[in-house]
Amino acid sequence: MNVVTEEMTGRSERQLGAEAAVLTVRAARTRQRRRLLLVLVPLALALVVAFGLRVLGGDYLISLPDFFRILGGRQIPGASFILMESKLPRAVLGLLVGVAFGTSGAIFQSTLRNPLASPDLLGVSTGASTAAVFGIVVLGISGPALSLAGIIGALATALAIRFIAGSTSGYRLVLVGVTADAALLAVIQYLFTRADEYDAQLALHWMIGSLEAADWQTIAVLVACLAVLLPLVAGTLRARRALELGPDLATALGAGRWSSEFLLLLAVLLIAFGVAAAGPVAFVAFAAGPIARALNAGRTTLVGSALVGAVAMVASDYLGAYAIADVNLPVGVVTGAFGAPFLLWMLAAGRTGRRVS
């Protein structure tokens, strides 16, 4: 009888321990969700504010009622043209490109488990710039053909880096990417020595990154690309979390080498289409992930990174157009000028750590 009682008591204790462990895990997940919600909601509100300033503010103010009247089809002299052909396309394109850049950078950094592993530093963006500059200086192309050249350059550079590195794990891919970036910059500098004044200005304008050429056709193409790529990224959430634990644990959890290959391919496509639409805008892909992680207590969040990228693009375009100087500064100048010091502050403050969630 005593033996039976002891067994029942032992089972009861183990059951209570298991239930306590389950409750602890659920409580931790609930806290993480609440923390993530406290991050995403303010970022979404910041994006709404930045988007509203870019569309309604500036030298030519547009009231909110007039904004909705114009969207409804009403023609208001002056305001309709400025809104539909300049302000709104730039704001929408900045939002879309920021989402693409922020998501791509966060995927690179979380998959390769390195905060410096972003398309900006691994040569992917520079590969797009090299192809574009070659197209301008040597082939004399422009318009959609130039954007296509940038996409091909980004993809070709990514494939070459992957082939030379031999794998997507460890620091080898990062080192190969940084070396490729330096080599491609040398190629660009050589092409500049062969360019005439007009081609050099056009190439420099491309390399800086700008939203000045925003149009609804480009926006439609980018929307279609993101409509395909972002759901695919969302479907890899479980694999991405496993990859953050390292290659060995990821393999044990069922996320093998092909999972990382597929994630990085999606990231390269996102950055390629973003660069094709607005040029290789500096800092956004590099810093969106660390900023979002710092806000989310060190945990990676792709949605947060996408929102940070969108806010950075739209707000920087507004600042460059109206708030900084009398001239209209390209968005790439603003992100480069403000982004690098802010990132250094983040690193010095120790706020770019990463936890797995």
Domain containing 190 — which CATH number? 1.10.3470.10
Partners of 299 in the β-ladder: 355
At residue 301, the pLDDT reads: 84
- pLDDT at res. 17: 55
Length of the chain: 357
Query: Is 295 within a domain?
Result: yes
In a domain? residue 34:
no
Average pLDDT over residues 112-129: 83
Supply the range of the domain harboring residue 120. Answer: 93-348
At residue 357, the pLDDT reads: 39
CA-to-CA separations, 101 to 23, 45, 64, 75, 177, in angstroms, rounded? 38, 19, 29, 35, 18
pLDDT band of residue 31 (cuts 50, 70, 90) is: low
Helix (H, G, I), strand (E, B) or coil at 355: strand
Question: Domain total for the chain?
Answer: 1
Band (pLDDT 50/70/90 cuts) for residue 10 is: low
Q: Is there a domain that residue 79 lies in?
A: no
Tell me the pLDDT tens digit for each residue of 327-350.
788 888 888 888 777 667 756 765
Residue 194: is its pLDDT beyond 60?
yes
pLDDT(308) > 90: yes
Residue 52 lies inside a defined structural domain of this protein = no
Is 86 a member of any domain? no
**How many Å apart are CA 146 and CA 280, to the nearest integer?**
13
Nearest in space to 92 (alpha carbons), one of 62, 55, 57? 55
The predicted model gives 3-32 an average pLDDT of: 55
Within a domain: 264: yes
Return phi, psi of residue 299, to 5°: -100, 140
Instruction: Let me know if residue 152 belongs to a domain.
Output: yes
- How would residue 198 be classed by pLDDT, with cut points 50, 70 and 90? confident
- Mean of pLDDT values over 75-98: 90
CB contact at 8 A, 43 and 36: no
Least trusted range by pLDDT, from 4-13, 43-52, 82-91, 277-286: 4-13
Report if residue 124 sits inside a domain: yes
pLDDT of residue 272: 92
Closest C-alpha among 161, 143, 159 to residue 206 = 143
| pLDDT, greater one: 28 or 198 | 198
